[in-house]
Structure 1
Amino acid sequence: MDRGFTIAWFGLMAFVWFGWGQEDPPPAWRSWLGAGSVMGLLLAGLFGYGVSARWSEGSALEGRYPWFGLVVGLEVLLAVVGCLFLHRRGKGRWMAWWVALVVALHFVPLAFFLDDLSLAGLGVIEAAGLAALVPRVGGELVSSRLVAPWMGITLLVFAGVSALLFVVRTGTPW
């Protein structure tokens, strides 16, 4: 049920990123960010329920939980240390970008843990988009205003396509 959990988790994370994007959006974006949050929460709820109903199906992580935990722990530490560094340098506007980059790069090892290379593709697409935001926005203007919607959109699209494929191949998650 790894795919179902991934859909639920990405829906929840899309909700979170769209929420972060509401820090300082242009007025025209507000309804779109809200709609993205609602769609992410809907996917999280539907597939979260499905995961709980199929909990006994197992996971590709079985036997690898300690390694997975170590990798995630190191990534969280990297995000925190990077944010502290940025804060101390007075570059707090870069924190959302930094966290997003760590999240995007997290999908590469996750692809191998879950035996799903599409996750690595998602990470590469997200990282490329984040890299493109740097020269476009430049300097101190980098903020959650652009980074968070980018992450929310990519996670929501990935979760939506995955949900459609899941239903076509497997049926409803519950």
Structure 2
Amino acid sequence: MEKARQSRRDGGITALVEGFFGAAWFGWGHAAPPAWLDPWLTVGSVTALLVAVVGAVVGFSSPASTAAINNRAAGRRYGIIVGVEFGLAALGAALLGGLGQPGYVPVWICAVVGVHFLPLVSVLRDRNLIALGILVTAAAVVALIVGLTTDVTPGTITGVGAGLALSVFGALALVGALRQPRLRPQAA
């Protein structure tokens, strides 16, 4: 695995993506939460979106040439990993829907998302993706157990677990990006 640190651009784009999807997961948690949790999901969504917006500003104002997936091979690996992730998520969701278990679609998608972070570690030069992958996958396992043993919907658990993990790691990426020096684009 490469020892290179993430660039300012990488950290900003990571914050953008993780913040955006953190907000999406908090949104999914809104499907059927207990009343006391609803305002906290909203706070989580808004906070995650702020991380995403600031991440976009930091990331897109930094030179593209510093990005981890700036070369063709890394971009191709990234595309394959994300393509497999989307394919597995869709296949499992369709299967669960066809089997009359749509309430467990968030569990499946959360597990797939969690696992997909692991092969991205070397592509994106981001060792934090290991812990993030473990936490998001653990949220799926907890959601499955809670869904099978209580009246709490699995989507509520995955919404809180994945939303929180993605938002926190997005904020950490943003802090790391802001600590990186600003670089000017290199002349061709």
Fold shared per TM-score above 0.5: yes
Say which of 107, 111, 123 aligns to 1:101: 111
5+ unaligned residues in a row in structure 2: which ranges? 1-8, 184-188
1:158 aligns with 169
The equivalent of 1:80 in structure 2 is 90
1:108-142 alpha-carbon deviations (Å, 9 max, x no partner): 01111112221012101221232233233316955
Deviation digits for residues 80-125 of structure 1 (CA, Å, limit 9, x no counterpart): 0001110111111100010111111111011111122210121012
Amino acid across the alignment from 1:162? A
Asked if 1:123 is matched to 2:122, the reply is no
Deviation sequence 1:34-74 (CA, Å, 0-9, x none): 00111111111111012221143432122321222122111
| Partners of 1:49 and 1:68 in 2: CA distance | 22
1:24 paired with 2:32, answer yes
Match of 1:43 in 2: 51
Q: Supply the distance in 2 between the matched residues of 1:172 and 1:25 (Cα, whole angstroms).
A: 42
Which of structure 1's runs of 4+ aligned residues deviate more than 2 A? 55-58, 132-137, 139-143, 161-167, 169-173
Paired with 2:64 and 2:94, the residues of 1 have a C-alpha distance of 40
Give the alignment's Cα RMSD to 1 decimal.
2.0
Residue in 1 that maps onto 2:186: none
Q: Please tell me whether the aligned partners of residues 97 and 144 of structure 1 are also in contact (alpha carbons under 8 angstroms).
A: yes
Cα 1:66–1:166, aligned 2, differ >3 Å: closer, same or farther? Answer: closer
- Identity score, percent: 27
Q: How does the TM-score come out when normalised to structure 1?
A: 0.90
AA paired with 1:146? I
The correspondence for 1:90, drawn from 93, 100, 110, is 100
- Contact preservation (8 Å) 1:91, 1:140: no
Deviation at 1:2, TM superposition (A): 1.0
Distance 1:166 1:49 in 2: 11
Alignment partners' CA distance in 2, 1:78 and 1:104: 12
**Structure 1 residue 171 displacement after superposition:** 6.3
Q: Specify every segment of 5 or more residues in structure 1 that has no aligned partner in the other structure, as ranges.
A: none
Greater helix fraction, Structure 1 or Structure 2: 1
